[in-house]
């Protein structure tokens, strides 16, 4: 947590959202993300059955920050609520066709700031809501409307680029990259480059998109 946050300010994040920014180890990402999602579902009125939701953290390099893995339901269509009860009998392998998995990409968590990660989770919750209701999900008109309502992006930005680049002020060499705000980003003047023993300059890399 940064020291800058005014905990009681009206716009300050909730405890579960704050906890999203404090994940240090991979094992902590699922519990923190799940807790935030439960709260976000209540706050934004997302209709999600968490008892039918599985979670995983992917450590392979991916361009997608997160994804919902789900069974393919024949003839399912957005806008056409699925009769799950009639479907269960056809599901030969004994798995619950309603179960789906939210897959979180660790590298994206590291690259995103807390607000971006929270918005990413809300985006995935819309996919879960759609899947659990209709048996399928996409980024169509219904999704866009929902995304606007819960303040989530329709498309997530790629996360391969670091947020901050640190350069030696004397020779311009890149001496570091940071994916989130930290001490050296806040006060680069307190550091010296190893190449020239010169001051370090910090710039935001490709802010936004
Ligand atoms: Zn999506
Ligand atoms: Zn230098």
pLDDT along the chain (209 residues), means of 10: 39 84 90 97 96 92 85 93 81 81 90 88 97 96 95 75 82 79 84 87 65
Give distance in angstroms: CA of 170 to centre of ligand 2.
Answer: 5
pLDDT of residue 34: 98
End-to-end CA distance of the chain: give it in Å, rounded.
25
pTM metric for this prediction: 0.72
Residues 86 and 176 in one domain: no
Sheet architecture: strand order including 174-178? 174-178, 164-168, 200-204
Give distance in angstroms: CA of 137 to centre of ligand 1.
Answer: 9
pLDDT of residue 128: 98
For residue 100, give the nearest of 127, 64, 138, 60 by alpha carbon.
127
pLDDT of residue 5: 41
DSSP 84-146: HHHHHTT-TT---TT-EEEEEEHHHHHHS-HHHHHHHHHHHHHHHHHHHHHS---SSHHHHHH
Give distance in angstroms: CA of 148 to centre of ligand 1.
Answer: 13
Give distance in angstroms: CA of 173 to centre of ligand 2.
Answer: 6
pLDDT of residue 77: 96
Residues 102 and 42 in one domain: yes
Asked if residue 7 is part of any domain, the answer here is no
pLDDT of residue 85: 83
Name the one residue in this structure whose structure tokens are 């901050």.
164
Question: Considering its fold, how many domains does the chain have in total?
Answer: 2
Residues 143 and 169 in one domain: no
Residues 175 and 142 in one domain: no
């Amino acid at each position: 947590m940064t020291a800058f946050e005014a905990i009681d300010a009206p716009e300050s994040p909730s405890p579960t959202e704050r906890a999203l920014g404090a994940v240090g180890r991979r094992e902590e990402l699922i519990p923190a993300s799940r807790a935030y999602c439960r709260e976000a579902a209540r706050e934004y009125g997302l209709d999600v059955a968490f008892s039918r939701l599985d979670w995983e953290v992917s450590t392979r390099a991916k361009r997608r920050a997160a994804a919902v893995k789900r069974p393919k339901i024949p003839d399912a269509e957005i806008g056409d609520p699925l009769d799950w009860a009639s479907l269960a009998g056809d599901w030969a392998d004994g798995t619950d066709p309603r179960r789906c998995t939210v897959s979180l990409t660790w590298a994206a968590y590291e690259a995103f700031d807390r607000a971006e990660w929270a918005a990413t989770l809300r985006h995935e919750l819309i996919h879960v809501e759609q899947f659990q209701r209709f048996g399928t999900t996409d980024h169509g008109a219904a999704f866009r409307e929902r995304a606007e309502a819960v303040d989530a992006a329709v498309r997530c930005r790629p996360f391969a680029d670091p947020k901050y680049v640190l350069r030696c002020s004397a020779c311009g060499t890149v001496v570091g990259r940071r994916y989130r705000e930290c001490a050296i980003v806040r006060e680069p003047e307190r550091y010296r480059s190893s190449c020239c023993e010169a001051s370090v300059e910090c710039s935001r890399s490709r802010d936004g998109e």
